[in-house]
Amino acid sequence: MCPISLMRIVPTDAVLGANVQGVDLRALDSDAFAAIHRAWLDYQVLLFTDQGLSDEDLVAFSRRFGDLDEAPVQETGQRFVEGHPEIYVVSNVVRDGMPIGSLGSGEAVWHTDMSYLPDPPKASVLYALEVPPCGGDTSFCSMYAAWDELPGRLRRRVEGLRVKHDGTYNSGGYTREGVTPTGDPRTSPGTFHPLVAVHPETGRRGLYLGRRRNAYIEGLSLEDSSALLDEIWAQATREPLTWRHRWRAGDLVLWDNRCTMHRRDAFDPATRRVMHRTQIK
Ligand code: OGA
Ligand code: MN
């Protein structure tokens, strides 16, 4: 067991994120887990380096936070990790003509996971098995900071509004399994959520935006909805509200989908990147 005494939580110099040092996630005692849970609520995103996790270990650590959601269906319509329906593979690797995972090697635009569902996962856990020599960094932004720093005029404008989180496309721009794109955000599949949300565990307010593409603010004309969304998105994803992570194999990043968004840089498609993700209900 990893005693809590060896654990150090080192905040990044950004508005969110902390590095948790001195732990092996396969062997956490309950005090160490409680401290990690607290730090996750405080810092929104946690990084653990030098882990050597099997899929079973990844699932076991993730389960300590709650029940797991099944992975969304991959872009090929398949589930890839035999025996682990809760593991989502993020990878550009093609084996026997078939991608082993989702999101390819292009940019993944700013989003929070699975917000097109009525009850999206509260957290995601992403574990790096293979990483490219450069590119493929993942950035996170704080939706608490996005709300706190939103100009008063915009705050008053968005309070009480609901936004449709589109279910047509994933963050890599691929169409989700079984969906026919309509091109009209008012009629495309998705779920309305309040634009300003109170975090159920911290009580802090944050913006909840999901994805920009095909988003739609309830009750507005398409034009007004787009203009307002563009303005809010520009504020929410400003560089000072973000933290960027350059991956190494063995890194595990745990984030809170209720108060962060993330994006990924493109990388050279001739290089390999393999990540396994779980999502916590
Ligand atoms: C995800 C995701 C980006 C990345 O797993 O939810 O958006 O860096 N991944 O692979
Ligand atoms: Mn994601």
Query: Please, what are the domains in the chain?
Result: 4-137+245-280 (3.60.130.10), 143-236 (no CATH)
| pLDDT above 90 for 152 | yes
Please choose from 262, 263, 276 the residue to mutate so as to test ligand 1's pocket, defined by most ligand atoms within 8 A of CB.
Answer: 262
Q: Residue 215 half-sphere exposure, CB side, CA atoms within 13 Å? A: 28
* Structure confidence by residue, pLDDT tens digits, 39-90: 999 999 999 999 999 999 999 999 999 999 998 877 777 766 788 999 999 9
pLDDT tens for 225-235 read 999 999 999 99
Whether ligand 1 lies within 6 angstroms of the CB of 166 is answered as no
Ligand 1 pocket residue status of 62, Cβ below 6 Å? no
Q: Which residues, in sequence order, are CB contacts of 116 under 8 Å at separation 6+?
A: 165, 166, 167, 189, 190, 191, 210, 211
Q: Is the pLDDT of residue 1 over 80?
A: no
The separation between CA 108 and the C-alpha centre of its own chain, rounded to angstroms, equals 11
Write down the residue that tokens 């929410």 correspond to.
Answer: 236
Residues 95 and 57: their CA atoms lie apart, in Å, by: 25
* Cβ(138) – ligand 1 distance below 6 Å: yes
pLDDT at residue 254 in the model: 98
pLDDT in tens, 170-222: 878 888 878 888 888 999 889 999 999 999 999 999 999 999 999 999 999 99
Q: Cα angle at 107 between 105 and 111, to 5 degrees?
A: 125
- Please work out whether the CB of residue 108 comes within 6 Å of at least one atom of ligand 1: yes
Residue to mutate, 81, 89, 90, ligand 1, most ligand atoms under 8 Å from C-beta: 90
Output the pLDDT for position 151.
Answer: 96
CA 112: distance to chain centroid? Answer: 5
How confident is the model at residue 79, as a pLDDT?
67
Residue nearest to atom 3 of ligand 1 (CA): 264
Q: Are 89 and 81 in contact (CB under 8 A)?
A: yes
The CA 174 to ligand 1 mean position distance, Å, reads 14
From the CA of 89, how far away is ligand 1's center (Å)?
9
Q: Which ligand has its closest atom nearest to the C-alpha of 279? A: 1
Q: Which ligand is nearest to the CA of 115?
A: 2
